[in-house]
Every structure is written in structure tokens, then in C-alpha cells.
Structure 1
Amino acid sequence: MIAITNLSYFLGDRALYDSASLHIKPKQKIGLIGLNGTGKSTLLRMINGEFQPDGGSISKSGDCTIGFLNQDLLSYQSDDSILAVAMQAFERQNHLQIQIDKILHDMETDYKDDLVDKLARVQEEFEALDGYTIQSKAEAILEGLGFVTDDLQRPLRLFSGGWRMRVMLAKLLLQKPSLLMLDEPTNHLDLPSIQWVEKYVQNYEGAVIVVSHDRAFLDNTIDVTVEVANGKLNYYAGNYSYYLEEKDQRNEIQRGAYENQQAKIRQTEKFIERFKAKATKSKQVQSRVKALDKLEVVDQVVDENAKVHFRFQFTTQPGRHVFQLEDASKAYGEKVILDGTNVTMERGDKIALIGANGRGKSTVLRVVAGDEPIEGKRRLGHNVMFTFYAQHQLESLNINHNLIEELKYANSTKTETELRTVLGCFLFSGDDVFKKIKVLSGGEKSRVALAKVLLSQANFLLLDEPTNHLDMQSVNILIQALQQYEGSYIVVSHDRYFVENIANKIWYIEDHQIKEYPGTYQEYEVWVEERGLVSATSAKAVVSSAPPQGKSSPQPASNGSAQKTNNSRQISNEDAQKVKKAKKQIEELEMKINNLEIDKKTVETKLAEPSVYNDAKALADLNRSYADLKQKLEKATEAWENAMIEVEELAG
């Protein structure tokens, strides 16, 4: 269908492509991957005819049609309704509809046989092109992409860039080109819409090329992976997971070939150096020099899987409860986000807040941060220090700072060497650390802002779509950093691979309540699927969707205290005093438990040192201290539990 042969393309004196080749076959689903800046989007634009190659050729079959979804479409605006914009895909059908309308109008005053014949011919072609179903097709795709029926007649210009992109995607899908090219299609989609597009691409009859940093989306949609690296297009006959395995094997082979060749080169150079002055060996020396000149050098394997070798620590330990909402409600006019919800977050919780756009996920983060007023109570726990990351906060970076200066501003206690280490974790090396913020790309600014968040000494992080604009390598680095982070966090993200690797609990908003699933995202998906099956087969099961006894998957929790009932008893003054006293005791016990846990950890660290086992007295003292701390911790924990039970009983 499309043949790319010996393609070359230069940016200044840098070869983006150098004699690269690829054949795109009908119905192939290709994932185009590579680090940022390697030229993935440039290749799509060359295939689309927008850019011309500097060498080689891109040839297409005569019947090849191309649809290209790119980020430039974000700026497209129109006063037409989104339904009308999507239906622009049906160019011929729309033209025929105009003709039909005109003929019918003319026939109202001049009923002639030739008009009747013309109408019959036009209607026949219109029907053959499924003209009577195009509106329902457009409506189905728009609603699959997250629009509600009431949105369809609203003008496109009233929607944000992300929603306009969905309309342009709908238009492309309706055109059904023989090659569909999607450049970061999941960037502006929520999770349900991503899953809908996945199914559509899986069943698409034409060929597809996808540029994406969403690993789960690639795994679920493509059957071929093409890696852009070193100016070449490297072909792998499988999805992204297959590519990772196959590339490891290729790298192992290349590493062996490189090491063997280097050993041979060193041996040859040693021979040349040793015998170059001897006339009797000049022929052999010249032969080896020529052999080295002609040698096709095997490239050294570059490890693109950067590892984080830095512990992101904080000095202040929080109490047991990090955050609480009690009977919290939030609405914007008639749009209700939360209605009397209760939620409690414990120390060590690593929570992903997921769901469709419009449910209020970002609003919930702002409520937690205290940036949104609510009805009800919002409480931060003892010693909780939080920081908030969101895309709009990239604007708060000081554009005149270099990277070192910007990180120094976030944490003045770190040395320049330590800050360089952190920047190295986020793929800034060498002189990159002296770049001004104002010259960075969107993705680079995101990495700097995330590094600042992790250096902030906060023990509670709020992260709103932190993987936006990050390539796969950067996402992998963020995953490692969050896995090493010892505090608590709430993350809003639509990246399933990211969520699966960083969250131990899932929050979702349902019926204006924050609800909790106490497990990983993969377990949550299984539970949702099971709940859907139960709901479809039994209306009674909707009331109680918890897994039956004996199931291994955890049940979703209703966060916070139990629902209030009309016959709740009034708390007497005496009981109120007892509650107040118990709550004070709980706070004191939490601080005591926290200090005991720190002391216990210190003793454990000392016990792990080999040198202590050479000193019998020191070892005995440490063991006694450890046993004493353990006993005190158990008693304090038991007292805390009893105090909690007392409060619950008194509060009714």
C-alpha cells in the first residue's frame, strides 16, 4: 500500500532519517515508537505529503486514502454544531442531500417529469451510499467518544481544545480512509473513551499507524511495532510487549557482537603498533590497517531504560490519618460533583482517582488541596505537608532560571551534586542542567515540575495527569520515583499502565460519592467486569455488588463513617466530653506510635549492620531495645484501637 525506500530527512546538519525503509501493508496496525525528538510525527507528515524527504522515496498505491489526526487540529474552530462538523466526513452524501433538497423545493412550484427522474437518480445514489444512516453513524461515534446527546447540536467553538480534538477524530473515523494515522490520540481522552477507541481501532478495516506513549493502548491495538532509532525504522512483528522482549534479545546479540569486535580491534591495533616499524612485517601491518578501515563497526548498545538512583525523602512524618472529608458536598450551580460524601485516607495510601471526564476528579484534587470551598468538613491529618502538581502549574516555573536554580528554589538544602543527580533521573544530563526554563519543550517542563514536586519535602502529593506530555522513558522514571516515595499520594490519570504500577487503592466517583476499591487497578477492572455481568443478569444484584464469600478479590469500600439515619440518637453533653477526651487521646497516641515506629526502624537499621555482631554487649542491648520498643508499640496500638472504638460507640 505504501513503500518507504531509503528515506533521508535532515534538520539542519542532523540526520533525522538516514536510508530508512518500511513497507505498510493493508490492514496492518502499526505502533510507531521512539524517544521524543526522533522524528515520529515528522514521518507521519512526510507520508501525508506535508514535508518532502531530502532523499529516497515514499510511494503510495493509487487507491490509498489517508486520514491524519494531529495536534494542530486542536486550534480548529467553527460555528457549526459538532454533529455537522463530524458529518463533513460524508462529502458526497452531503452534496447529494443539497441536490435532493433543491429538487424538492423546485418541485413545489414546477412539477416536471425530468425533475422526478433526476430526483430518483440522486436518491438512488444517496441510498447506495447509506446516506439515510450517516447521521446515526455520526451520533454513535460522537457519543462513543464521550459526548452526550444534548452536546451534539452545540457549536464546535464552545468546546475546549481537547473536546474539539475528539470531534476531529470522529470525523476521521467516519471517513474510513485506507490508512488512518493517529498522533497521540489518547492525550485528550478519558478512560472510557480510550477503551472505546481501542475497540474501534481493533475492528478497523483499513491500516492504522499510531504514535502513542500509552503502553496499554498500544498493546491492545497494534500487531506491528516500528521503532524510530538512530535514523532507522526498526521492524518488530508484534505489539509493544513483544517489542520489549524481542529488543532485549536483539540487544543481547548486539552487545556480544560489539564486545567481540572491540576485542578484535584492540588485538589488531596492538599488532599494528608493535610491528609498524619492522620492514619485514610491513605487508601484514598494511593489510590489517586496510581491514580496520573497511570494518563495518557494530554500535554499542545504548540502555534507554533509565533507572532512578535517588531516594526522595521527607523529614516530617505524618499521623495515621492523612486526609478526611466529612459529609462533603460540592456543586457548580446545578452541576453536582459531591453530595454528602465521606472519605478517609490513611498514611501509606497510594491512590489513583479514575473515571470519565466531567465526573469531577480534578475538582476533588482541588478540594483536597483546599483550593475549592465545600459544604461539610475537610481535615488534613497531623503533620501532613502536601504539594500539588497540575498542568497549569507549569506556568509557575521561573522562565529565567536554569534547571539547577529552579530545583534549588524547591529545596535549598540539596547540594548542586544532589540536584544534578535528580535532574539526571529525569533525563537532564551534562550542560542540559544550565538550560533556561524558557527554552524547554512542554514535556521537558513537565519533568522539571515533577522533579520539584518530589524534592519539596512534602509527605503527601496531589498529582493531576502527571504523565501528559511525557514519553515512555519519562513515564517509567516517574513510576520508579513514586514506587520509591515513602509518603502518600492521590493521582488522577488515564494511563492504565502507570496507574497499575503506582496505586494500591482505587478511588472513583459514583452517584456523587467518592468510593474506594481496596486493590490494584487490574483487580479493580476484573471487579468492574464481574459487577457489570451481575447487574445485567439480576436487578437485585445491583443493590449488593460485593463479591460473594470466599472470593479472593477485595470488596470495594464505602469511604468514611457509616451513613446517617433519621433515628440517630443525640449525643449527651457527658458523652460529648468523653468523645473530646478520646479524640485528644487518639492524637497523642498517633504521635507516640509514630515516634515509636521511627525508633524501631532506627534499631532495625543498626541490627542490620554486620559490625554489631562482633560486639556481644552491643548486640544484646540492641535486642533488648528492639523487644522493648516492639512491646510499647503493640500496647500503644491497642490503646489507639480502643480509643477509636470508644469514639465510634459514643458517636452512635
Structure 2
Amino acid sequence: MILLQVQQVSRRFGATVLFHDVTLDVSDHGRVALVGRNGAGKSTLIKMIAGETTPDDGQITRKRGLTVGYQAQNAGLNSTKTVWNEMLTVFAKLRAMEQKMHDLEGQMSDPQVIADADQLQQITKTYDQLQQDFSDQNGYGYQAEIRGVLHGFEFNEDYYDKPVSELSGGQRTQLALAKRLLEKPDLLILDEPTNHLDVETLTWLEGYLQSYPGALLVVSHDRYFLDHVATEVYDMSRGSLSHYQGNYSHFIDEKAQRLQQAWKEYDKQQTEISKLEDFVNRNIVRASTTKRAQARRKQLEKMDRLDRPEGDEKVARFSFRPHRQSGNVVLDVVNAAVGYDGHTLSSPINLDIKKHQAIAIVGPNGVGKSTLLKTILGKLPALKGQIIFGTGVDTGYYDQDQANLHDKKTVLHELWDDHPTTPEGDIRSILGSFLFTGSDVDKTVHSLSGGEKARLLLTKLALRHDNFLMLDEPTNHLDIDSREVLENALNDFDGTILFVSHDRYFINQIATQVIELSPNGTTRYLGNYDYYVSKKAEQDAYAAKEAAEAEAAHPTVTAPKQTQVDYQQQKDRQKAKRKLSRQVQALEDQLGDLEKEKTQIEETMSQPESFNDADKLADLQQQLDVVTTKLDQTEDDWTNKSLALEDFDDATD
């Protein structure tokens, strides 16, 4: 079933056509990705689809009653409520039903109502139907659902009572997305939902969206994310929209095949045209062949000529070329600790970086990845430990905050001031290779988009000719084409790379090793991101197996001190988990018994012989109140312990 159709839609800005005659369908439970380079018009189109703007031409039709939720990129939640109360607003209808149920419970305990059998029966019937509707709409689980989504975005219970207005911009953006997910619209539209999410949260979001009950329309530059979420891709390029079935990787392959086929058909037609034109030119003036030549001329005039196939728009072309080679040892970090004002974020940190390695640093937000790079560079002091550079190491740094740029300078002078002896023509030529052409070089840095500033930073970095590149989130603000250009430049780089990134596709393409940073320091994995994920899963499975075997065997062999400590901690965690699991199971059994008891009392109260016995009815109502209180308390206990068990599992994963 088609939920939404975009039909021959166009958008113009004055005489400039952004896109024209575009068509897009979203089906029930569709997983649609909209891709294209920065400025192609993706966000403009989805704002039309979301109903925020209208097209200049064409129309957008929706299924009757379709609910649409739109989350714009970097659009934070504005609210004076606490985090928890803001999430509760999503379930206002359920909470009203809940209050109505409590009101009816109060009426059913009223002696006057109890004495009126007909009224009691009617109220009981209304209550039963309301309770069924409440249960069907997850009324007994919506608070657990809120906790689950908040936990996925790393908002633990410490945040529940905090006002939304006191959160950071990034946190308010994540909270806005969390609220959209809880609303569960029929069509969820997300514009760059992965911005500023760490790997753990990205993985959780992918899993959540894969099981999302409605349809998805996603704009993203995160290729790994698109591969795991999208099942069809619309490519916005050169003012038009092309449709592809499959995920992002399949789209890339099919797009290349389509272009190759278009060239074959174009070349074939050009060959035919050349033959026809040659025949006409040679025979049009000869009496014996002029009629045949005229026929060929008419054939040429009627021919539906194919346009010359056009690939992607112009892309930046650059490289990183070091002036000199470093020694084999590039950097050693020994038992270091990083943080601010004496507060340690991560320790102990150990790095052993050799020439020509490309090392990715991954870890959750706030663990100190950017802080580590700044500490290595000497921009921040190490709280302890040693940082030792090798011989002949020239370090270049890409700052995700773009603090190395000067807002008031023009693009030209941002580069030229760093290299005053380089002729202006050479500077302009270099900028042109990074897609700064014509009047672009006269723009002030302040007026540039995030993507343009990122390209300017890369330009400056390329001109330094360092042999050790330290990059902090270099793909932020870059579209997919620019990310691929950067990947190619780094893969061709004859030097050493240490980088922080949440772009898992980028890590896969560049990294020869992955360093996981946690509060407990560093762990090294000798491969790319996919290897890191598989190795982590293998280690977790092995640790679980060892723990189970150790638990069963009760080994008495004396182990080294640290091994004993680790084993005892593992044993204590397993013991606590089993205890908590038994408590949850016991509470589930108790809930079942109490629900049966409550149902039996309610059925007894609804029987005719109870209506005429006010004392018996009052006694039953008293029993019902006691059971209901126990049921509510037990349900709260079950919810708390279930969440504790989930948190326990998360902490031990």
C-alpha cells in the first residue's frame, strides 16, 4: 500500500531550478533513503513531504489519516519540562485513560454505587472495556518503553528530573529524536539522525529502526547506517531523482552499471549517427543516390537522440603528500590519563604507533577521544603518564570544532596568509581542486556552510605536507562524495594516521587497527571496524563461556592476583544476575496470581447474587482494593527489577 506519493514536483529559487519533475513513493513499512551531495535539495524536498513547505509545481498526496513525524537535523527539543515529563506528553491519551480507570475504580468502591446493581454493572462494563483498550495500547508498558528509548540515547535515571532546557544542544537534539520514536507516526522522516551519535548509540538506533512498525524516509551521509536500515534508495543528482532497489551498497553498484549501460547505448547511437551523416554527405548531390540520401536525412531528423551520459557532479581532487619520512616509531603513549581539572576521563592509555599505520579511536561520547588527541598535541596537559614522539615526525591536526579557521578572513586569504610566498594563481588553483572556484574564494569563512569549512580545513591540512595526520571527526559535515574523496586521499597517503570517527564505513575503509577507549583505558584490535565488532562479539562469547564453566567447576587453582580479582568480579556479577533474574521471575508469577485473584473477585462482584447483598459486596470491594494495591506495588517492583536486570546486562556486555 502506498502511504505517500511525490508526483512531478519542482522547486525554483528565482531563475535557478533546484530540482524538477521529481517522483518518489513511500509504501507501507517502506525503508527509503534519500541521498545526494550537499546542496542538491534533499532537505528542501523532505520539508515539502513533511508539509512544512509546498512545491512550486506538482503535488504530494497522502493516504487519508496518515500521521507524519519529521525530525530536522540538529533540531533540539525546547521545553521547560523535565526530561521524564516531556516524554510523558507523548502518552497523554493513555494517561487520560489511566486516570479515567482510577476514577471508575473510585466509583465502584462508592457504597451508593455498590447498592445500585444496575449502575455498578454499567460502570464495571465500562471499566472492563477501558482496561482492555488501555492494555491493547501498551498502557501497562509505556513507562518501560520510555525508559528503554531514553536508555538507548544514554539518558539514565540521573537525567529524568533534569529540565530539558539545562541540557546541551546535542542532548536536546537526541531527546527530540527520542520523542519522535516514541510517537510512532505512520511515516517517520529523519534528516541526518546519526549526527553526533557515538557508535554504541548508532548501533542501538539501527536496531530500533529495523523493527520500527511504520515507514521510514531517511536523509543521511552515514553509509554504514544506510546499509543497515534502507531497502530502497532515491538519488538526487543534477536536479532530478533516480530510484534504486536495495541498500546503499547495492545502489552504488547499480548506479555504476546504469552509467556503463548508458554509455554503451550512447556510443552505439553516435556510431549510427556518424554512418548516416557520412552517407548523406557523400550521396546527397549524386543523382543516382540522392533519394537514398534524403531518406537517411529524414531518418536522422526523426531520431530520438540520447543525451551524453553524465556521471556525478565535479568532485574535489586532492592528496596528502609528506615533505619527508618519519622514523619507524611515530608515537608512544605510556600509562597516560586524560581529562580536565584533575577529573580523569580515561586511564591507563597506552598507544604504540608505527610508521604507515592508520589507527581509529572509538568509544562512547564523553570518554575523552578528542581530549586524548588534544593531550597528545600538547593543547591539554596529561594528568599522568608519558607521551613520546619518534624522530622526524611532523604532525598535522584536523579539529572537528573548526577552531583553526578565522571567521573574518576570506577563503583565499585563509590559505594565502599561511603561505604568503606562494603565487596567488597557485593558491586559487589549489582551492579550485577543493571545489572553491570563481567568487567562492572571496567568501568570508563566517558565511561558509559546515561542509565548505570542512573542505577548507582539509585544504589547509594538505598544504602542510605533514607525515603524521591526527584527525578528529574528519567526515563531519562532508557529503558522501567528499567522504569518498577523503578516503582515497588517506589510503594513498604515504604517512601515518591517528583518527577519531563515528563513521563506521569510513573506519572500515581507512583503519588498519582500532583502539577502543573506555574509562578503563585502551584496548587494541588489529583490523578495521568490522573486525573490531566481530572480535568483540567473539570475546564476549568466550568470556561468557569461561564464566559459565568456572561457575560449574568451582576451580580451586591459585591464579595470579589480577586474574583472581577478575574472576571474583565475574563470579559476583553472575551471582547478582541470577539473584535478580529469580526475583523478576518470582514477581512475574506473583503478578499472574494477583491478576487471577482480581479477575475472580470482579467476576464474583458482577454476579446477580452479589448485587442484593450489600455487606457481601462491600466485603468483596475491600478485597478488591487490597488486591489492586498489591498488584500495583508488585507491578512497580517488577518494572524496577526488570530495568535493573536490563541495566545489569548492558553493563556486562
Q: How does 1:430-509 map to 2 (within 5 A)?
A: 432-509=440-517
Structure 2 residue aligned with 1:28, among 8, 30, 47? 30
Give the aligned residue type for 1:504. T
Structure 1 residue aligned with 2:387, among 348, 372, 378? 378
| 1:84 matched residue in structure 2 | 85
Q: What is the CA distance between 1:433 and its match in structure 2?
A: 4.2
Q: How does 1:142-181 map to 2 (within 5 A)?
A: 142-181=150-189
| 2:15 matched residue in structure 1 | 13
2:80 is the alignment partner of 1:71: no
Closer/same/farther in 2, CA of residues 92 and 413 from structure 1, 3 Å limit: same
Contact 1:85 1:167 in 2 (8 A): no
Q: Distance in 2 between matches of 1:413 and 1:541?
A: 70
Give the aligned residue type for 1:385. D
Q: Distance in 1 between matches of 2:111 and 2:464?
A: 79
Structure 2 residue aligned with 1:139, among 124, 137, 147? 147
Q: Distance in 1 between matches of 2:549 and 2:295?
A: 83
Partner of 1:73, secondary structure, is coil
Give the aligned residue type for 1:531. Q
Closer/same/farther in 2, CA of residues 371 and 260 from structure 1, 3 Å limit: same
Tell me the alpha carbon deviations over residues 355-388 of structure 1, each in whole angstroms, 9 at most, x when there is no partner: 1112111111111111112233333333323232
Closer/same/farther in 2, CA of residues 61 and 341 from structure 1, 3 Å limit: closer
Contact 2:198 2:364 in 1 (8 A): yes
Q: Distance in 2 between matches of 1:298 and 1:435?
A: 39
Contact 2:75 2:173 in 1 (8 A): yes
Contact 2:402 2:454 in 1 (8 A): no
Partner of 1:77, secondary structure, is coil
Q: Distance in 1 between matches of 2:404 and 2:281?
A: 59
What is the total number of aligned residue pairs between the two structures? Answer: 541
Contact 1:139 1:152 in 2 (8 A): no
Q: Distance in 2 between matches of 1:394 and 1:278?
A: 75
Closer/same/farther in 2, CA of residues 372 and 112 from structure 1, 3 Å limit: farther
| 1:96 matched residue in structure 2 | 97
Q: Distance in 2 between matches of 1:396 and 1:231?
A: 32
Q: What is the CA distance between 1:196 and its match in structure 2?
A: 0.8
Closer/same/farther in 2, CA of residues 205 and 340 from structure 1, 3 Å limit: closer
- TM-score (normalised: structure 2): 0.74
Partner of 1:392, secondary structure, is coil
Structure 2 residue aligned with 1:299, among 297, 304, 307? 307
Structure 2 residue aligned with 1:314, among 309, 322, 331? 322
**What runs of 5+ residues in structure 1 fail to find an aligned partner?**
543-562, 564-652
Q: How does 1:251-266 map to 2 (within 5 A)?
A: 251-264=259-272
Closer/same/farther in 2, CA of residues 112 and 389 from structure 1, 3 Å limit: farther
Contact 1:86 1:168 in 2 (8 A): no
Closer/same/farther in 2, CA of residues 424 and 86 from structure 1, 3 Å limit: farther
Contact 2:5 2:26 in 1 (8 A): yes
Give the aligned residue type for 1:73. A
Q: Distance in 2 between matches of 1:240 and 1:207?
A: 17
Contact 2:238 2:313 in 1 (8 A): no
Structure 1 stretch 112-121 or stretch 24-33: which is displaced more? 112-121
Q: What is the CA distance between 1:494 and its match in structure 2?
A: 0.7
2:60 is the alignment partner of 1:58: yes
Closer/same/farther in 2, CA of residues 259 and 434 from structure 1, 3 Å limit: farther
Tell me the alpha carbon deviations over residues 538-561 of structure 1, each in whole angstroms, 9 at most, x when there is no partner: 22899xxxxxxxxxxxxxxxxxxx
Q: What is the CA distance between 1:290 and its match in structure 2?
A: 7.7
Q: What is the CA distance between 1:95 and its match in structure 2?
A: 3.5
Partner of 1:357, secondary structure, is coil
Contact 2:405 2:445 in 1 (8 A): no
Tell me the alpha carbon deviations over residues 451-479 of structure 1, each in whole angstroms, 9 at most, x when there is no partner: 21122132222211111111000001111
| 1:328 matched residue in structure 2 | 336
Q: What is the CA distance between 1:203 and its match in structure 2?
A: 1.4
Closer/same/farther in 2, CA of residues 262 and 397 from structure 1, 3 Å limit: farther
**What runs of 5+ residues in structure 2 fail to find an aligned partner?**
551-561, 563-653
Structure 1 stretch 286-295 or stretch 452-461: which is displaced more? 286-295
Closer/same/farther in 2, CA of residues 509 and 395 from structure 1, 3 Å limit: closer
Q: Distance in 1 between matches of 2:53 and 2:101?
A: 40
Higher relative contact order (CA 8 A, sep 6+): 2
Contact 2:74 2:173 in 1 (8 A): no
Give the aligned residue type for 2:89. Q
Q: Distance in 1 between matches of 2:58 and 2:224?
A: 34
| 1:426 matched residue in structure 2 | 434
Q: What is the CA distance between 1:312 and its match in structure 2?
A: 2.3
Partner of 1:339, secondary structure, is strand
Closer/same/farther in 2, CA of residues 257 and 433 from structure 1, 3 Å limit: farther
Partner of 1:150, secondary structure, is helix
| 1:242 matched residue in structure 2 | 250
Q: Distance in 2 between matches of 1:541 and 1:480?
A: 47
Contact 2:338 2:368 in 1 (8 A): no
Q: What is the CA distance between 1:342 and its match in structure 2?
A: 3.3
Structure 1 stretch 99-108 or stretch 51-60: which is displaced more? 99-108
Closer/same/farther in 2, CA of residues 72 and 337 from structure 1, 3 Å limit: closer
Closer/same/farther in 2, CA of residues 294 and 126 from structure 1, 3 Å limit: same
Q: Distance in 2 between matches of 1:82 and 1:283?
A: 84
Q: What is the CA distance between 1:447 and its match in structure 2?
A: 0.8
The alignment-based identity, stated in percent, is 34
Give the aligned residue type for 1:71. Q
Q: Distance in 1 between matches of 2:131 and 2:549?
A: 50
Q: Distance in 1 between matches of 2:347 and 2:237?
A: 51
Give the aligned residue type for 2:376. V
Q: What is the CA distance between 1:527 and its match in structure 2?
A: 0.7
Tell me the alpha carbon deviations over residues 594-616 of structure 1, each in whole angstroms, 9 at most, x when there is no partner: xxxxxxxxxxxxxxxxxxxxxxx
Q: How does 1:529-540 map to 2 (within 5 A)?
A: 529-539=537-547
Closer/same/farther in 2, CA of residues 334 and 136 from structure 1, 3 Å limit: farther
Give the aligned residue type for 2:330. V
Q: Distance in 2 between matches of 1:198 and 1:120?
A: 38
| 2:372 matched residue in structure 1 | 364
Give the aligned residue type for 2:11. Y
Contact 2:227 2:249 in 1 (8 A): yes
Closer/same/farther in 2, CA of residues 38 and 270 from structure 1, 3 Å limit: farther
Partner of 1:242, secondary structure, is helix
Give the aligned residue type for 1:153. D
Structure 2 residue aligned with 1:396, among 402, 405, 410? 405
Contact 1:425 1:477 in 2 (8 A): no
| 1:229 matched residue in structure 2 | 237
Contact 1:142 1:170 in 2 (8 A): yes
Q: What is the CA distance between 1:2 and its match in structure 2?
A: 1.1
Contact 1:443 1:470 in 2 (8 A): yes
Contact 1:310 1:421 in 2 (8 A): no
Tell me the alpha carbon deviations over residues 24-77 of structure 1, each in whole angstroms, 9 at most, x when there is no partner: 210111111112222111111111111111222111111321111112522x32
- TM-score (normalised: structure 1): 0.74
| 2:357 matched residue in structure 1 | 349
Partner of 1:131, secondary structure, is coil
Partner of 1:23, secondary structure, is strand
Q: Distance in 2 between matches of 1:419 and 1:346?
A: 33
Q: Distance in 2 between matches of 1:260 and 1:353?
A: 50
Q: What is the CA distance between 1:323 and its match in structure 2?
A: 2.3
Contact 2:74 2:170 in 1 (8 A): no
Contact 1:306 1:477 in 2 (8 A): no
Closer/same/farther in 2, CA of residues 329 and 31 from structure 1, 3 Å limit: same
Structure 1 stretch 132-141 or stretch 283-292: which is displaced more? 283-292
Give the aligned residue type for 1:378. I
| 1:571 matched residue in structure 2 | none
